[in-house]
Amino acid sequence: MRPRFLAALLVAGLLGCGTAGAQTCKPAHKIDSLVSPGKLTVAIYEYPPYAITAGGEIGGVDGEIVKSIAKAECLTVVPIVIDPAAGIQHVISGKADVAVGDWYRTAERAKVMGLSHPTYLDQMGIYSKDGASTVAALVGKKVGAVAGFMWVPDLQKLLGGNFKIYPNPVALMQDLVAGRVEMGVDSYGTGAYAQKKGAYPGIIVKVAQPDPRVKATADAAQATVLYTKGNASLGAAIDANIVEMHRNGALAGFLKSFGLDPSGADTGTPRVMN
């Protein structure tokens, strides 16, 4: 009888601990307003390695960041998978609390969105067959780049008619591998992750060395978590959690776990791009 009695007590104790733990989760910060109480609604699109939506749960660097924030604040993550262009509108219209997916801290976005403390740097990558890492190596070559990145205007000015803009990384990759362009420029993180999955055969991806002709090589864009402008308590909670992730090394760990250089977590002082 005694062993059964002790076993029963142990099971009851474990069940009690689990229930108590669930009921006593204490948020790290007070958040006054959310789209749905007790939930962090996240607008996210597929953009590995920063945002991954496969399998019903979010992942990638940004996915891990928001899951860590939600855990610290005792919130359940509710993802809304969207097209990239719809992310900001989902937050503005009150359908989502935050939007993630390598969004940049820009002056234009700051007019309508809350911008979190910087999460990581989106470093410019040079894609070539010979391992080039300088802007000078691009001059005189047929070069392709993906639209929407901060280095595009400077490269367009520098390279002129030899520069072609693509709507997405897949289109660029196809022309680069086929030799229709000689070199490519895209996010370093995108290429590094894609190569781990077998993409870009025969191509070497390098972080671009600083060059004053392309400002992004010296001042890489700072990524951010976008949130509802005016929701000060949410913004304060997000910022405090991101600062802690920098302090304890978690953010550098997220980058490394997805094949990125952990130095990308060294964001420096918060700034916005014009």
Q: How far apart are the first and last CA of the chain?
A: 75
pLDDT over threshold 60, residue 8: no
Which pLDDT band, with edges at 50, 70 and 90, does 101 fall under? very high
Between 186 and 19, the more confident residue is 186
Asked if 26-121+222-265 and 124-217 have one fold, the answer is yes
Q: Which amino acid is at 173?
A: M
- Determine the pLDDT at residue 113: 96
- Determine the pLDDT at residue 85: 84
Q: What are phi and psi of 221, to 5 degrees?
A: -65, 140
Strand partners, 211: 214
- Determine the pLDDT at residue 261: 86
- Determine the pLDDT at residue 23: 62
The dotted CATH code for 124-217 is: 3.40.190.10
Which pLDDT band, with edges at 50, 70 and 90, does 16 fall under? very low
pLDDT tens by residue, 17-53: 444 444 689 999 999 999 999 999 999 999 889 999 9
Q: Which of 5-9, 68-72, 210-214 has the lowest mean pLDDT?
A: 5-9
Q: Which amino acid is at 247?
A: R
pLDDT over threshold 70, residue 192: yes
Q: Would you tell me how many other CB atoms lie within 10 Å of the CB of residue 25?
A: 11
Question: Residues 89, 90, 94, 97: is their CA dihedral positive or negative?
Answer: negative
pLDDT over threshold 90, residue 209: yes
- Determine the pLDDT at residue 274: 82
Residues of the chain with pLDDT > 90, as a percent, come to 76
Residues of the chain with pLDDT > 70, as a percent, come to 92
Q: Which amino acid is at 155?
A: L
Please name the residue ranges forming H helices in the chain. 2-23, 60-72, 87-92, 107-110, 152-159, 169-178, 188-196, 232-248, 250-257
Mean pLDDT of the chain, nearest integer? 90
Q: What are phi and psi of 247, to 5 degrees?
A: -65, -45
What is this structure's pTM? 0.81
Domain range summary for the chain, segments of one domain joined by +: 26-121+222-265, 124-217
Distance in angstroms (rounded) separating the CA atoms of residues 12 and 255 = 41
Q: In CATH, which of 3.10.129.10, 3.40.47.10, 3.40.50.150, 3.40.190.10 is domain 26-121+222-265?
A: 3.40.190.10
